[in-house]
Chain A
Amino acid sequence: MAECHPVGFQWVMEAKARGATIIHVDPRFTRTSAMADLHVPLRAGSDIVFLGAIVNHVLSQDKYFRDYVVAYTNAASIVSDDYRDPEDLDGLFSGFDAENRQYDFHTWQYEGREVQAAAAQRDMEYEDRAVRTAGRGEAHGSGGARSGTARTDPTLQHPRCVFQILKRHFQRYTPEMVEQSCGVPPELFARVCDELTRNSGRDRTSAFCYAVGWTQHTVGVQYIRTAAILQALLGNIGRPGGGILALRGHASIQGSTDIPTLFNLLPGYIPMPYAHPDQDLAAFLAAEGTEKGYWANIGAYTTSLLRSWWGDAATADNDYCFDYLPRLTGSHSTYDTVQRQLAGECVGYFLLGENPAVGSGNAKMQRLGMANLDWLVVRDLTMIESATWWQNGPEIETGEMTTADLKTEVFFLPAAAHTEKNGSFTNTQRMLQWHHEAVKPPGEARSDLWFMYHLGRRIRAKLAGSTDDRDRPILDLTWSYPTEGAIEEPSAEAVLAEINGSDADGNPLSSYEQLKDDGSTRCGCWIYCGVRADGVNQAARRKPGREQSWVAPEWGWAWPANRRILYNRAAADPDGRPWSERKALVWWDADEQKWTGHDVPDFPPTKAPDYRPDDDARGPQALSGTDPFIMQDDGKAWLFVPAGLTDGPLPTHYEPQDSPFDNPLYGQQRNPAREVLPLRHPANRMQPSGSEPGAGVFPYVATTYRLTEHHTAGGMSRSLPYLAELQPEFFCEVSPELAAERGLEQLGWATIVSARGVIEARVLVTDRLTPLTVAGRTMHQIGLPYHWGPTGYSTGDAANELTSMSLDPNTHIQESKALACDIRAGRRPRGPARLALLHEYQRRAGITAETGTEI
């Protein structure tokens, strides 16, 4: 965090100054470790063992916050009799379909009630929910009753209650297993358990901060889920000083998830519809919505979105143009898109401030995909590798590509900088902050707002008058925004107003509670509703922090409803009193009969703690006054996830796709549901693992990361003299022991090889990386900052030449944080010899198209 979110880290230092203990768990010793009380180096890729063993410790030593767990989590819920755990099936959950490598989640559901997820893969319930709603359900499905009440056992004794399942699932995640698999000695592990549990409970809270070190794995979602289980057991969610904080790496990466430039989402986490026969809006809403909690209002959110996109063309009679939305069939993630490009089915590509030629997993595959396009539009501030691969990419040097043979037409359109446009970024705490235009963009540089608006305007003009049914969605689209100045820059305020939404008379809405499913309201992103309450740009509020409370509610605007801590009802006990005065945040004011506190309560403002719903209640009214997790179908924090995840209801340790080690816990080596098969390609070969023959060719573990002085794939930093001077070229970090083993010299060169590529880096010999003892042998790790490519002032090979396209099945994110590789002294070969070395490694390891792709 000190490296990659340096200014945010000042608050960790403030906490430390007030007595907080800082624990840093990372394969590398970094600036964060230097400031921490405890640094715990572990093997990259072993985090579920580490966290799972803490869960086991908390459960077996009775260290959990019992009142919180019983009242606010699903610990007491009883799970279906058909559920089987990896403990029973040697690493698989019940419901695995080996042919399609997918899980049928039905046996994971509660007994007596089928719930829907508040996020993730909701379409998996389509057959049960939409089809049954349409009156044809009995033929399909699980038989589990959807409505009703799940059976619970508040004593937590029932053998099939979540609490007992959890205990059993993690029983072999022990300190000895941590030592064997993570390389963390038992004394150090015991200290972590002790510090964490001592600092959690009624009077104290602990927070977890993570970044892509957790997400970029074939089991990334389950890493974070393990932390979620732990924090829920310890009572650290919804309370000040608690939580699991995703430290995100781009100015508005949170915003681009909320208002998603992502294939599987519509604004506000409404799922993009999948293709199903005869699907109308009602079927979609029935399938994707919940019965209880705020997702039951999905109709209001969706209808308001459709009304804001298609305006008066969207009527009740035509299902508010629901049919205008294109449909998904499976995954269309950026990695699947590369496959489509290679197949010649996707011929055009827009790159809008992103540099996949060095920044995405398996950079070569990205370039091969681009080389097969008809046209490519790159919009960026400076010339980046994704615009120049046809000129000077690695394949030109090896002779795999010849410029004259490359057919792709490339447009480079210069972009405007943040100082040259109005707009809002959503930071890592879900807070929108407006930045104001200071000057006009130079030359032909334009904002992406300008680009999209004028591109849309032109396309609409060219298609005007078309009678083709497929052109209706683009011609009926609401697409008139006021423009300003000589360059006709569209008004970002007007776009924000559309996002915020309006009532039937065009007045700005102030809360998503006002949204209706009858077409009378419009709203471009329901969770952002209120950002322009009273017609005022709340994101532009800048009351100085020192003139406000510690919550600083009048700086910017956080979704939803300017709440700064989500699910903060959990900061009070079931009766509505703060768990302790020290940790008071939001509480029930019995005199006023409403919730109050330092933050905006994340709860219906007048729902009393003793409120109990009628049996036929729906939506938010169906949750009781003690259900803090108001987006969930049962109002509880899910220790066990009965729906929504594609790879299991509980986190289970699987080895990384390419690992020098066997899975010490199960016969199942890798995540059985990971995505690897559809991405097979000669340039995306996988490696043998563990005790498989040939695995010894790649004996070390590499992990990628960022430096303080550069930004992601370097597009915004390698061309800056200041930053280039601070970190002038690509390097790798190795321990003195590994340097000795492989003859690597400080400031000399090393060549690093995986089944995908060969790169070279300057060597930094440092005890910041320490060898660990794993499975009884010494294991070395190699640190690879991933900022580089051949352009800019600071240059070097891209670490992503080594990474593979093997993905987490929930998020479709690649595994770039743990991969087996080899390292040798000296520079890499030039020209065709670079390829020859790669092929020699593949041969030595016996790699074929099938290697590593088995279940």
Chain B
Amino acid sequence: MGVRTWIEGWPVYRQALGADRTGRGAAAKSRTSETLTPRTETADEVVKSICPYCAVGCGQDVYVRNGAVTQIEGDPDSPVSRGRLCPKGSASLQLTTGSSRVQQVLYRRPHSDHWEHLDLDTAMDMIADRVIAARRDHWQDEQGGARTRRTMGFASLGGATLDNEENYLIKKLFTALGAVQIENQARV
């Protein structure tokens, strides 16, 4: 490295003589950061999405590399958000890829003090059995002389964070099973 290169590598020198007088841009960059490329440039594809938090519905660009989400940015095309995201939308990379996400089915037996793992297939089968039993045990054909044809045995809560298609299947399946206690956060 020549002396000149060495001096030019000094941020204060660059700040004093270069265009970045406040030292918050190019002047502050290290040689390592010079060589970095943003994850957005190395992505295999960009998938169009929508922020999953509030109902403003900001557009998101989801960057994917090797089958994994590597970055989530605001979508400049969106007439709603024009590329912007708030702190929550900007943090959605952590929401989707963070270590807090549970990836296995967990099961707590009655009276137990701990979780155990259950495989998904077994869990689904157990839940189906429980729905059938609760439905049967708390079935109500009529009330006060009027036909009700329903079960009060189970309830569901949730939907405001889910897709329309998911809400549609929840309402359709549970209603066909005779459940009426179907609710979501719109009430809360």
Contact = CB atoms under 8 A, between A and B. Distances in A.
B7 interface: no
Interface centre among B139, B165, B179 (most CB of A within 10 A): B165
B49 A418 contact: yes
Nearest to B151: A326
B104 A262 contact: no
Nearest to B81: A7
B161 interface: yes
A19 to B, nearest CB: 21
A435 B173 contact: no
B56 interface: yes
A301 to B, nearest CB: 15
Contacts of B96: 417-420
Interface of B: 45, 47-60, 62, 64, 67-69, 72, 76-82, 84-92, 94-96, 98, 100-113, 115, 118-120, 123-132, 134, 137-139, 141-173, 175-188
Contacts of B76: 544
A769 B184 CA distance: 32
Contacts of A256: 159-160, 162, 164, 167, 184-186
A584 interface: no
Nearest to A248: B55
Contact of B134 (A333, A348, A421, A458): A348
A204 B166 CA distance: 41
A252 B164 contact: yes
Contacts of A669: none
Contacts of B183: 261-263, 333-334, 337
Contacts of B92: 418
A349 B155 contact: yes
B57 A346 contact: no
B32 to A, nearest CB: 23
B163 A252 contact: yes
A811 interface: yes
A416 to B, nearest CB: 9
A439 B69 contact: yes
Given A496-B165, A552-B79, A720-B100, 19 more contacts: A6-B86, A7-B84, A10-B82, A249-B55, A250-B160, A252-B161, A253-B184, A255-B164, A262-B187, A275-B142, A333-B183, A348-B153, A383-B100, A419-B69, A425-B164, A434-B48, A442-B101, A542-B48, A542-B77
Interface string A322-363: 011111110011101100110001111111111010011100
Interface in A714-745: 716-717, 719-723, 726
Please give me the 3 A-B residue pairs with the lowest Cβ-Cβ distance, nearest first: A545-B79, A423-B163, A427-B57
Given A333-B187, A382-B101, A411-B123, A253 B49 contact: no
B143 to A, nearest CB: 5
A436 interface: yes
A253 B55 contact: yes
Interface centre among B49, B81, B84, B179 (most CB of A within 10 A): B49
Interface residues of A, number: 160
A813 B188 contact: yes
Interface stretch (A92-100, A287-295, A398-406, A751-759): A398-406
A720 B101 CA distance: 10
A479 to B, nearest CB: 8
B128 A347 contact: no
Contacts of B86: 6-7, 708
A427 B91 contact: no
A130 interface: no
A262 B188 contact: no
A309 B172 contact: yes
Nearest to B177: A474
A465 interface: no
Given A7-B58, A418-B52, A436-B47, A261 B155 contact: no
A269 interface: no
B131 A251 contact: no
Interface centre among B85, B126, B155, B181 (most CB of A within 10 A): B155
Given A261-B159, A332-B181, A722-B87, A545 B176 contact: no
A237 B172 CA distance: 34
A470 interface: yes
A411 B126 contact: yes
B48 to A, nearest CB: 6
A445 B52 contact: no
Contacts of A262: 182-184, 186-187
B59 to A, nearest CB: 8
B159 to A, nearest CB: 3
Contact of B152 (A324, A325, A340, A434): A340
Nearest to B74: A7
Contact of A449 (B80, B88, B169): B169
Contacts of B151: 326
14 contacts: A7-B84, A7-B89, A248-B55, A309-B175, A350-B156, A354-B161, A356-B157, A414-B105, A427-B50, A449-B163, A456-B169, A470-B178, A711-B53, A721-B94
Contacts of A442: 101, 103
A428 B125 CA distance: 37
Contact of A329 (B62, B100, B137, B148): B148
Contact of A425 (B57, B125, B155): B57
Given A410-B107, A721-B98, A263 B160 contact: no
Nearest to A404: B111
B154 A347 contact: yes
A328 B151 CA distance: 11
Interface centre among A438, A552, A719 (most CB of B within 10 A): A438
A408 B120 CA distance: 19
Interface string A537-549: 0001011111010
Contacts of A275: 142-144, 146-148
